[in-house]
Amino acid sequence: MVFADLFFLYFFLPVCLIFYFMTRNLHIRNAVLIVFSLVFYAWGEPVWVSLLIISSVIDYINGLVIDKFRGRPLAKLAVIWSLIANLGLLVTFKYSGFIMENVNALCKTSFPVPKISLPIGISFYTFQTISYTIDCYRNKVKTQKNFFKFLMYVSLFPQLVAGPIVRYSTIGEEIENRRTTVQDLSEGISRIILGIGKKVLIANAMSGVVTSLFGESSNDFSPVATVSVSGAWLGAAAVALWYYFDFSGYSDIAIGLGRIFGFHFDENFNYPFICTSITDFWRRWHISLGSWFRDYVYIPMGGNRCSKARNFFNIMVVWGLTGFWHGASWNFVLWGLYFGVFLLIEKYIGKERINACPRVISHIYTKIIIAAGFALLHIDRTASVWEYFRALVGANSNPLTDHLTKTVFTSNIYILAIAVLFSMPVVPKLKEILMKQKGSAVLAQSTGVICNLGILALSSIMLVNNTNNPFLYFRF
């Protein structure tokens, strides 16, 4: 089941809310969330619910062991077992095929390549349960003694299948004690509608631009090799905008749903395209993943405390893993290492020198690097990656522009302009302007209601004939 679906919006969610708000008993409310979360997850892949529950049982027990044997070897053993079990599941279901393909290629062997379908959300909930176990060991969170409360944390449907990666420390207290205020309801509904609009009205349109220029399939080699220079850059920018509106739209819906149920998830995106450096970009993009790798990989490896050479190694390892987390393919690893290199360059140039650079130059530099890099998420074949970078500089003897690029650009100029405009903090600025007017509260509320109704109505119309509308990060 997906959020951008009429069945979810007009049946599943309303029924869930009715059962949830029928009582004020928090135990019953938690039970409602568990049942609906498991139904939500099982809707498309019922067999993988068992894997979700197994993962939950493993780290629930690990938490209890850590709490009982704190400061003793068994507590450390529980952390090690959590890492082995969770990463073992992740490697088995997500990376086993990739590993065997590369073993066969390197060793000239012919071992059978496993064909295992990827359980939706496994990259997210395994990272969540790992963070819980480690935080228990570090004594940063209280151990959850009730299995069903822990299962609710892991399976909570607003963020289950595509994040953000919600740490137990963020909502642990709210699992035990929470309430939904009128402000929570209002802001939650607005956030859900904003996310639906991002996905249905903008992200889906950007996917059409990318398909027109780079081909229907990310494995399709020929369009990437033959596209014009301007077409390659337009496609690259469209990929970056597509991923931003698709994933930030999902995060908005997840955060909005959380608010309705009384949970306050951390922000996952903070207008990343207004950045003036690649370092700043990654403080604003997929914040929950970046902070996870920082706290559970980079800092334990030594972080900034080690030598320059070791720090260089740490950063490249973290960004190689960040790319690999996104998918079992070399293009994802290259994507992570690509940004890792620029982060290293900025690190050794120094923040002061970067800040001294004219902001216009900083904006141009970052947008070129971001656009060129994000197309790697769409281009799966390694050979196509090389051809893509050649196309960006015209090294394929491809023309500066062509009829296809002109047609795609003119046909989508309005949606491209809207995407660029709303990738910036336009909405907060408009709210600020409205609040300065006479009768500002009423004006802001009425304007917000009208805009929300318009976005919801238009999105619903667009979804009528759209039977398959998955979010991009479902495959990660």
What pLDDT tens digit does each residue of the chain (476 aa) get? 788 888 999 999 999 999 999 999 999 999 999 999 999 988 877 888 889 999 999 999 999 999 999 989 999 999 999 999 999 999 998 989 888 988 988 888 888 888 888 888 888 899 999 999 999 999 999 999 999 999 999 999 988 877 799 999 999 899 999 999 999 999 999 999 999 999 999 999 999 899 888 876 545 445 676 788 899 899 999 999 999 999 999 999 999 999 999 999 999 999 999 999 999 999 999 999 999 999 999 999 988 888 888 888 999 999 999 999 988 888 899 999 999 999 999 988 888 888 888 889 999 999 999 999 998 888 877 777 888 888 888 877 778 888 889 999 999 999 999 999 999 998 888 877 777 766 666 766 777 788 889 999 998 888 887 656 666 665 65
**Are 278 and 172 found together in one domain?**
no
How far is 180 from 399, CA to CA, in rounded Å?
A: 58
By residue count, the chain amounts to: 476
Residue in 36, 31, 79 with CA at minimum distance from that of residue 58: 79
Residues 163 and 227 in one domain: no
Residues 120 and 197 in one domain: no
CA 78 and chain centroid, separation? 29
Residue 339 and residue 240 share a domain:
yes
Amino acid at site 277:
S
Q: Is 326 a catalytic residue?
A: yes
Has residue 22 been placed in a domain?
yes
What's the total number of domains in the chain? 2
- In this predicted structure, what is the pLDDT of residue 467? 58
CA distance 93 to 95: 6
Check whether residue 459 and residue 352 sit in a common domain: yes
One-letter amino acid for residue 248 of the chain: S
The CA distance from 133 to 151, in Å, is 14
Domain limit, last residue, from 124, 152, 178: 178
> What does the pLDDT look like over 305-334, one tens digit per residue?
888 888 889 999 999 999 999 888 888 999
- pTM for the full model? 0.91
Residue among 27, 264, 326, 378 flagged as catalytic = 326
Domain of 340, in residue numbers: 184-463
C-alpha gyration radius of the chain: 23
Instruction: State which of 178, 195, 217 marks the end of a domain.
Output: 178
Of the residues 125, 148, 178, the one at which a domain ends:
178
Query: 449 and 300, same structural domain?
Result: yes
